[in-house]
Structure 1
Amino acid sequence: DGRPGAAGAALSTLRRGWIVPEQPVSVSPKTQDAVFRAVGRPGVVLITEGPTTRVRPLVEKERKNMQRFLPNVPIQVLATGHGADQVELHDLAKTLKRMKKTLTKQEVQAVDKRLNSLGSAKMPIPKGIDPYRARPDRKSMRGR
């Protein structure tokens, strides 16, 4: 699946024990690369969508942010794709399930609450029409 958000769709099939927000934690608006977050017994897992080299800065920024607030929680990174060192989308849930469990269920809830309380630093989507898709008014263009 080449469309953005495919990793998010694959993550939504995870069973209980995993807390996955609907929206990605960070997105590169220019390239549509995204980083999703899943919190579970193995700790925090950042799932990338897009070429590894392009997504690396997004992941590192997110990881640094989290390590500041969650000093003793393991943070792992999974890259989705077809290459070496990458996980296929249909194997994503299986891979997450196989990870070594280090946190208790209570700790998972506490970590998720902490991450949610931080909020996100990304800009909200503005209301109204998309200025890039708006059609220019031909009448006002006549005098130019």
Structure 2
Amino acid sequence: MSDLDPSKMNRRQQLRATYRMAKQTDRRLGLWLLGAFVLGAALGFALFWLLPGSGTVSLVLSIIGALMLGLLALLIVFGRRAQAAAYKQMEGQLGGGARALSMLRRGWRTDQMVAFNKQQDMVHRVVGPPGIVLVGEGNASRLKALLATEERRHARVASEVPIHTVVVGDGEGQVPVRKLVRHVNKLGRKVKGAELTDVLSRLKAIDANRPNIPLPKGPIPTSMKGLRGQMRGR
């Protein structure tokens, strides 16, 4: 996998990097893409062939339609399977939840490792429409105390804002990495844009004295937000 920052790649390089990443865990990716293109092209050809027109015009339009729908189907399948492959690589890795959270779209603020301990349990913070979401990664028993401490700390400066806690994992009451973004998005819309700005401003008081510890690097060459960029170009 290339270590080049995807933001500095052209679109072709981004697609190649994404394909190589996905291929590591999805060995049949090439077959899926070929099948998607063939089926999409067949559907496109049939649809455009039914349009009124002369034989030559219908043939040209049908070929164009086949290519368009074939490529569209290929890109849709590619995007979904690449995302699934990336999530699979993140599962069980230190910091995998933080990388998954970076898939959240605009309107969210993610801060990685706002709290941690020497056992490498960590808490990430997401601020968005549901309020404040504290996401813990590590040992579930140790995370209870770590999350409780962070919840109290955040409540002191944002008591009127809903505070949610989530533990990443496959155990009972936990949320798997692959479902984390969906789970956070489903927490509802309880805080508006102007309120979010005020909350973020007040949270600076909490963050001012925190040590800045970077997340360990994993096999994912960039954040999942970067993966979305690879799908559409920068």
TM-aligned CA distance change 1:81 to 1:110, over 3 Å: same
Q: Displacement of 1:122 after TM fit?
A: 3.4
- When normalised by structure 2's length, the TM-score is 0.50
Q: Equivalents in 1 of 2:211, 2:198: separation in Å?
A: 26
Q: In the alignment, which residue of structure 1 is the partner of 2:157?
A: 69
User: What's the counterpart of residue 25 of structure 1?
Assistant: 114
Cα distance in 1 for partners of 2:109, 2:171 equals 27
Mapped partners of 1:62, 1:19: distance in 2: 17
Give the aligned partner of residue 104 of structure 1: 192
Question: Aligned Cα RMSD in Å?
Answer: 1.4
Larger relative CO (CA 8 A, sep 6+): 1 or 2?
Answer: 2
Cα deviation, 1:68-127, whole Å, max 9, x if unaligned, reads 1111111010111001111110111111111121111111121112112432443456xx
Q: Any unmatched runs of 5+ in structure 2?
A: 1-90, 214-234
1:6 to 64, 89, 96: 96
Conserved? CA contact 1:10–1:93, under 8 Å: yes
Question: By percentage of residues, which structure has more helix?
Answer: 2
> Which of 146, 157, 175 is the aligned partner of 1:87?
175
Q: Residues 133 and 166 of structure 2 are in contact (CA less than 8 Å); yes or no, is this contact kept in structure 1?
A: yes
Letter in 2 for 1:7: G
* Pick aligned residue for 2:148 from 55, 60, 69: 60
Show structure 1 runs of 4+ deviating over 3 A.
Answer: 120-125
TM-score (norm 1): 0.79
Paired with 2:128 and 2:155, the residues of 1 have a C-alpha distance of 16
Distance of 1:85 and 1:120 partners within structure 2? 32
Aligned length: 123
- Measure the CA separation in 1 of the matches of 2:211 and 2:195: 29
| Percent of matched pairs sharing the same residue | 33
Distance of 2:205 and 2:100 partners within structure 1: 25
Q: Which structure 2 residues correspond to residues 38-53 of structure 1 after superposition, within 5 A?
A: 38-53=126-141
Which has the higher Rg, Structure 1 or Structure 2? 2
Whether the 8 Å CA contact 2:114–2:207 is kept in 1: the answer is no
